[in-house]
A and B are shown apart, each in its own frame.
Chain A
Amino acid sequence: MLFFANAMNALEQLFTHKMRSILTILAIVIAVTATITVVSVVQGFTRYVSTFLEGLGTNAVFVGPQRPPGEAGKALGRVEMTEDDFHAIEAHCSALRRVSPMIPRQGVKIRVGRDEIAANIEGVAPAYHTIRNFPVDVGRPFAVVDVDRAQQVCVVGREVLRKLDLDEGMVGNNLLLDGRRFRVIGVLASKGSFFGQSLDDVILIPYTTALKMYPVFRRNMVIAAQAETAEVVPEAKAQVANLLRRRHGLEAYQPDDFIVQTQGEILAAFNNVGNIAVSVLAGIVGISLLVGGIGIMNVMLVSVTERTREIGLRKAVGARRRDILMQFLTEAMTLSLLGGGLGIALGYSLSSLASLHPQMVDVVVPLWAVFLGFGISAGTGIIFGIVPALKAALLNPIDALRHE
């Protein structure tokens, strides 16, 4: 009952001093708005990127040659990754289920009839469809025989077809790829786009064929693999590293001349960016809350002074110290929660507004951010409201009543 009376009182005070209240809660509104907006946007991006990275393939592991930095790197001889390395990984790494080379070539001329466009091609093995979660939905995927015989066949992405103004009827027909005739055997299922970049703008060819066309990659292959399960990803990584170190004749003191990256590591690297954004946010929110809290404390101190006689009267009719304390704490909390509420509404609108932009990822305000918003505003109210409330509670009744 007393709580209800306090809340009613607090709202009355707020309405009586509208301008003062609005100005007071402004900083809290800003803090909570920033929290909601940034958290939502970061979450949206994180989810977006996670989805993309999951699209890279389940439990994917990527291996490539890399010269280590510094003197140790310079001391190494050739840094390379060969087809033999690929076969060795395929044969000996028990924690890997599938392995495929990944030979990228960008801006390759594609010609169909008179139309010519530039597209990215990748030389891969049949396992690649599964590793990268890139199935064929029309025609057929690569077969082992295509690779073994280095046949001139290809699987095309939807975006390539769109750019050539063609449809699935292309399957079974030929196109010219860097002047060579390739037969289209399948069309890849669409993967959509990532930050405005279509993921379907690609043509896959057998890696053996790619190596013939671009021999430079014989010593510079990237290998994509899929671990048996999520649990053995670290083990797979270790197996690959051990094998390659042995094969490359590295001594114990020498650094790796290759890099093994797991999907999780790529995700973690991205999450790092998200964490930086959240740290910046924490700074903004912290400062706004401090300013907002001081504002609340100031207004509450003024309120206590203005209402000293009222406090005296309340004490004269039986209010205990804790009743007065609660009254003023409730008032401070009402102010800060109102700020929090407005901030949540504003943050929500800003997030929705951001989602309207066509290039923008889907932004959803997570429920926990709403609770966080209310939590930090309520906390500010309590922390900065306690001093004025204590000041009021500890007033001597007769001194308060005599206050002019």
Chain B
Amino acid sequence: MTSGQPLIQLRGITKEYQMGAEIVRALRGVDLAIYGNEMVAIMGSSGSGKSTMLNILGLLDVPSSGQYWLDGQDVAKLSQSALARVRGRRIGFVFQTFELLPRQTAIRNVELPLIYSGATPRRALAIEALRRVGLEDRMKHRPNQMSGGQRQRVAIARALVQRPAILLADEPTGNLDSRTSEEILDLFDVLHGEGQTIVVVTHEPDIAQRCRRIVRLKDGQVEADELVAQPSQAASRAGGGLAPPNAVQQPGDAAATQRTDVPAARPDR
């Protein structure tokens, strides 16, 4: 399943913000590799830089320094519109606050990425995505007519509708009660079982325990990168999680330089 080619490769990523007079160093040199079909939790306390890292992974933010290869492509070399294209087609983003358009129905929210990519048939693809999250009977509902868990599932359907290489989730259960959180995590397990690469940012250990690998950040640096021996659920399910975490410690210069000419692993296709 996993090739030698990481889906995501970070080297020496730093991010600094200007906050008033002082400069906040959110990331201080992060090296990380994530392979196809991994399910990775990024943990850390508030202010550890985990959200910043996820935003950089999702191409919503640009690092201050360091390199980021996505599918072997150095993203620093991408134009604004190429970045938008990659955000739309290769990355699915799930937010803590769902970020659904409040006046539009579930199906129209899910169709949104397809409008920008021009993929067709839009309706059928959106219905298919809603089916994957089990909401095919809520297509015509608006966000305010749905529960929090249903809204988050609509958001996940929106993230999945383009069949992205990576699903990035930023505290996806942060606004949900524990029972609903469970539903969302079960859904992630199912998606992971289907081969979806997932990166989840969380500060809740139980959630992290359901992933195959946990990357702990502290003060903007990777403090620990460990495999979970026995994921708390669905442990028997066949799947990824075979990625050697020690790859992180050896990003490999050779690998980095020949990145662009190696065909990318496409675990989603």
Contact = CB atoms under 8 A, between A and B. Distances in A.
**Chains A and B are bound partners:** yes
Interface of A: 1-2, 5, 12, 16, 309-310, 312-323, 396-398, 401
Contacts of B85: 318, 320
B3 interface: no
B81 A318 contact: no
Interface of A is mostly: helix
Contacts of A5: 115
Interface of B is mostly: helix
Contact of A318 (B87, B99, B101, B103): B87
Contacts of B80: 320-321
B58 interface: yes
Contacts of A310: 101
Contacts of B117: 318
- Between A2, A16, A323, A397, the greatest number of chain B beta carbons within 10 A of the residue's beta carbon is seen for A397
29 contacts: A1-B115, A2-B118, A314-B112, A314-B116, A315-B60, A315-B84, A315-B87, A316-B60, A316-B87, A317-B87, A317-B93, A317-B113, A317-B116, A318-B84, A318-B85, A318-B87, A318-B113, A318-B116, A318-B162, A319-B116, A320-B84, A320-B85, A321-B84, A322-B81, A323-B116, A396-B61, A397-B61, A398-B60, A398-B61
B192 to A, nearest CB: 22
Contacts of A322: 81
B163 to A, nearest CB: 13
Contacts of A398: 55, 60-61
The 8 nearest A-B residue pairs measured at CB: A318-B88, A317-B113, A318-B116, A320-B84, A398-B61, A398-B60, A313-B99, A397-B60
Given A12-B103, A16-B103, A401-B99, A316 B81 contact: no
Nearest to A318: B88
Contacts of A396: 61
Contacts of A318: 84-85, 87-89, 113, 116-117, 162
Interface in B101-129: 101, 103, 112-113, 115-118
- Between A309, A321, A398, the greatest number of chain B beta carbons within 10 A of the residue's beta carbon is seen for A398
A322 B60 CA distance: 17
Given A315-B84, A320-B85, A2 B60 contact: no
Interface in B55-70: 55, 58, 60-61
B158 interface: yes
A322 B81 CA distance: 9
B60 A401 contact: yes
A392 to B, nearest CB: 14
Nearest to A400: B60
Nearest to B158: A317
B118 A1 contact: yes
- Between B81, B84, B85, B112, the greatest number of chain A beta carbons within 10 A of the residue's beta carbon is seen for B84
Contacts of A313: 95, 99, 101
B162 to A, nearest CB: 8
Contacts of B116: 2, 314, 317-320, 323
A282 B88 CA distance: 47
B238 to A, nearest CB: 31
B60 A319 contact: no
A12 B142 CA distance: 14
A55 B173 CA distance: 86
A309 B99 CA distance: 8
Contacts of A401: 60, 95, 99
A12 to B, nearest CB: 6
Contacts of A320: 80-81, 84-85, 116
A325 to B, nearest CB: 12
Contacts of B81: 320-322
B130 to A, nearest CB: 16
A314 B101 CA distance: 10
B101 to A, nearest CB: 6
Contacts of B112: 314, 317
Contacts of A2: 115-116, 118
A1 B61 CA distance: 29
Given A317-B88, A318-B89, A396-B61, 17 more contacts: A2-B116, A2-B118, A12-B103, A313-B101, A315-B60, A315-B87, A318-B88, A318-B116, A320-B81, A320-B84, A321-B80, A321-B81, A322-B81, A323-B84, A397-B87, A398-B55, A401-B95
A316 B93 contact: yes
